[in-house]
Amino acid sequence: TGITDAELREAVDYLVNSYVFDFQTHEQLASYLLAVERYNLGYNYRRKFVQDVRKVTRADVLRAARQYLDPDHYTLIVVAPEGTPAPKE
pLDDT bin (cut points 50, 70, 90) of residue 80 is confident
Type and span of the H or E element at 65: helix 58-68
Residue 25 CA to residue 54 CA, distance in Å, equals 26
Residue 59 CA to residue 55 CA, distance in Å, equals 11
In this structure, are residues 42 and 48 in contact, taking their beta carbons and an 8 Å threshold?
A: yes
Residue 23 CA to residue 6 CA, distance in Å, equals 28
pLDDT of res. 16: 92
Query: What is the average pLDDT value for the chain, to the nearest integer?
Result: 91
Residue 30 CA to residue 61 CA, distance in Å, equals 31
Residue 33 CA to residue 56 CA, distance in Å, equals 25
Residue 89, pLDDT above cutoff 70: no
Find the mean pLDDT for residues 72-89. Answer: 85
Residue 8, pLDDT above cutoff 80: yes
